[in-house]
Amino acid sequence: MSVCNPNRMLLLKQPIRSWCMRRAIQTTSVTNKNLRAGQYKSTIHRTKPLTYEETQQPFKIGATKSWNSWNTSNLHEEGRASETTTEDMFIRKFMGGTWHRLLASEVIIKRRHNMIIIACLVFQAVPPRKMYFLSGYTEELLSTFLNCPVKVELQTVKDKKDIIFKYI
Amino acid sequence: MSVLHKKQAQTITDDQQDEEFRTFEIPGLKAKEERKKMRRRTKKVHPPRHLRMRTDQEWINVWPTASTFKWSAVPFPVRQGFVKTQTENEGVIPGKYANAELMKIPNFLHLTPGHIKKHCQAIKKFCTAWPRGLETDESCEKYFPLEVVESDYCVSGPSIRDPRARQVTVKVKLSKLDLDYHARDKMLRLVGNKYNHETDELTLTTDRCPLKKQNHDYAMYLLTALYHESWAREPWEAEKTEADMERYFWDQSKSKSGIISLLTRIKNIDKTSHSEPDARLIPYLPEDVTEETLLLLPELQTYKEAVEDLINEGENHTTVMNYKNSVKKLLNIKTPPS
């Protein structure tokens, strides 16, 4: 539409014919990349805090940030891709509910043989005694649900400011 | 209880009588005593472990097994992340503290040279010396001609079983088996495309049973059955015709009878029309021409080999030239001098 606009054409310094031809021929394929999914909207005064994980867009996975699920089910000729994904979703929901308002990062799920290792950052908002209870509770219940040993490997964060990477 | 109540009531009435009037307090006039803020007592968190580590400590004791990266236990500085502008983390790559990226990636802090040395020492008692006389691949092939290939699979899943692990492949070179010409030919016919002509290898792959052990046993049974079946000579095998032959045999071919009748006819012509030896069509033929005497001739033997090579090996420069020369020699054809 803008090409056909006569006012805009007048603004162009170069001959219209050559400009149109250059515009019309496209030799490369169209990039259907969705640049809006999984991105956070910025605020006027740039006051919204984001973690490193949230700053990196989904298409940067494998380049500037790595995956949150580590398993072999997506490799060539390996099965169980759907089961693993469903279990991972369940684990994430479970962690979000059990460690309510305590999680400081995404839940990282690593699978080694039949063992599931859950790693995450948590705030030091509850006393250590409760934290030990919660991790034991998580391990015990998830082991029962998923029929395999589950290990929780936590790291605590003192302040919310420690995980902030950028304000947008 | 009732007595106590009465006593209290009496004291209240006494006080009121003493003061006569109760003072009226206007709400908001007098500043209230500030309530003490209840502050939750937070326990002091210990300083990270790497600050208390000695420089000559045993790293194996710090990081004994595979584990997620722990910033508090790692004594060296490490950073991970990507910073684009000054607005991101003040332009500094995030350090090890509270860095989820470091927790995601697999680390090899449990596989340092010290760890490996300790692992090796632990499993050394299960190791035995390599058997003497099996230093080279040739000697291994000689003493252990049967090769069995099995696989185990490690996957991240709740089950340690893998359906692919049941497959068993057995390889053996046919030259290592004790077979005569008939048995070898029959074996090749029985196994079909499981035999590799280039490597002389017979490959049996079994995966029809649910367990590896069963498939191994089945492969062994197959090999045994094949071997004995190859040696067995069935009555119908005598009915083999030229079309059933696996290769060309000149002795059983039409070429043999044809060349013998031709040579006999030439000898008859020589006998009747050419009495002097120099004028004979084929001078080397003996006086009594029979099949036995003809077959003993070296010219006919070379012709036989040339024909067999030509058909079994296929037409190439060597075989065709050999065939040409043998025919020229056999029929005494001389190239005219140019």
Residues B320 and B230 in one domain: no
The residue segments making up the domain with residue B284 are 250-331
Best A114, A130, A131 member to test B by mutation, with max B CBs in 10 Å, is A114
Nearest CB to A166: which of B66, B87, B157?
B87
Rounded to the nearest angstrom, the minimum Cα separation between A156 and chain B is: 8
Interchain contact A156–B (C-beta under 8 A): yes
Q: For residue B9, is pLDDT > 80?
A: no
Q: For residue B6, is pLDDT > 60?
A: no
Nearest CB to A108: which of B43, B103, B157?
B103
Residues B268 and B319 in one domain: yes
Q: Does B21 reside within a domain? A: no
Interchain contact B94–A (C-beta under 8 A): yes
Q: Which residues on chain B are in Cβ contact (under 8 Å) with A108?
A: 68, 100, 103-104
Interchain contact A64–B (C-beta under 8 A): yes
Q: How many structural domains is chain B composed of? A: 3
Q: Tell me, what's the pLDDT at A82?
A: 93
Task: Give residue-wise pLDDT tens across range A82-140.
Answer: 999 999 999 999 999 999 999 999 999 999 888 999 999 999 999 899 999 999 999 99
HSE, CB side, 13 Å, CA atoms: give it for residue B47.
5
Domains of chain A (ranges; CATH) run 33-167 (3.30.300.20)
Task: Give residue-wise pLDDT tens across range B130-162.
Answer: 999 999 999 999 999 999 999 998 888 888 888
Q: Show the tokens assigned to A20.
A: 């149109």
Compute the average pLDDT of residues B15-31: 75
Residue B215: phi, psi to the nearest 5?
-65, -35
Residues B190 and B268 in one domain: no
Q: Does B263 reside within a domain? A: yes
> Distance (Å, rounded) from C-alpha A6 to C-alpha B213?
82
Residues B77 and B158 in one domain: no
- A89 three-class SS: helix
* Long-range interactions of A89-93: CB distance < 8 A, separation 24+: A90/A145, A91/A116, A91/A118, A91/A142, A91/A146
Judged by CB atoms within 8 Å, which residues 29-58 of A form the interface with B?
46, 51-53, 55-56
- Of B198, B215, B239, the residue that ends a domain is B239
- Of B209, B239, B269, the residue that ends a domain is B239
Residues B172 and B207 in one domain: yes
* Beta-strand relationship, A49-50 and A166-167: antiparallel
Which chain A residue has the Cα nearest residue B47? A158
Residues B145 and B233 in one domain: yes
Rounded to the nearest angstrom, the minimum Cα separation between B250 and chain A is: 53
Q: Which residues on chain A are in Cβ contact (under 8 Å) with B101?
A: 52-53, 65-66
What is the distance, to the nearest Å, from the Cα of residue B17 to the centroid of all Cα atoms in its chain?
A: 106
Residues B230 and B273 in one domain: no
Q: For residue B120, is pLDDT > 70?
A: yes
Residues B226 and B261 in one domain: no
Q: Which residues on chain A are in Cβ contact (under 8 Å) with B63?
A: none
Q: Tell me, what's the pLDDT at A4?
A: 47
Q: Tell me, what's the pLDDT at A21?
A: 56
Compute the average pLDDT of residues B21-45: 75
> Distance (Å, rounded) from C-alpha A52 to C-alpha A166?
8
Are the Cβ atoms of B98 and A147 closer than 8 angstroms? no
Q: Does B33 reside within a domain? A: no
Task: Give residue-wise pLDDT tens across range B198-252.
Answer: 999 999 999 999 999 999 999 999 999 999 999 999 999 888 887 888 888 888 8
Q: Tell me, what's the pLDDT at B50?
A: 92
Interchain contact A85–B (C-beta under 8 A): no
pTM for the model stands at 0.68
Q: Does B262 reside within a domain? A: yes
Are the Cβ atoms of A155 and B98 closer than 8 angstroms? yes
Instruction: Specify which of B165-174, B249-258, B289-298 reaches the highest per-range mean pLDDT.
Output: B165-174
> Distance (Å, rounded) from C-alpha B4 to C-alpha A168?
69
Which of these, B246, B165, B152, B167, lies nearest to B203 by C-alpha position? B167
Which of these, A18, A41, A29, A138, lies nearest to A90 by C-alpha position? A138
Residues B179 and B271 in one domain: no
Q: Which residues on chain B are in Cβ contact (under 8 Å) with A144?
A: none
Task: Give residue-wise pLDDT tens across range A9-62.
Answer: 455 555 555 555 556 677 788 877 777 888 899 999 999 999 999 999 998 999
> Distance (Å, rounded) from C-alpha B77 to C-alpha B63?
16
Compute the average pLDDT of residues B56-68: 93
Are the Cβ atoms of B43 and A128 closer than 8 angstroms? yes
Best A56, A66, A168 member to test B by mutation, with max B CBs in 10 Å, is A66
Q: Tell me, what's the pLDDT at B177?
A: 92
Q: Does B17 reside within a domain? A: no
Task: Give residue-wise pLDDT tens across range A57-74.
Answer: 998 999 999 999 999 988
HSE, CB side, 13 Å, CA atoms: give it for residue B326.
21
Residues B231 and B258 in one domain: no
CATH number at residue B212: 3.30.160.20
Are the Cβ atoms of A113 and B154 closer than 8 angstroms? yes
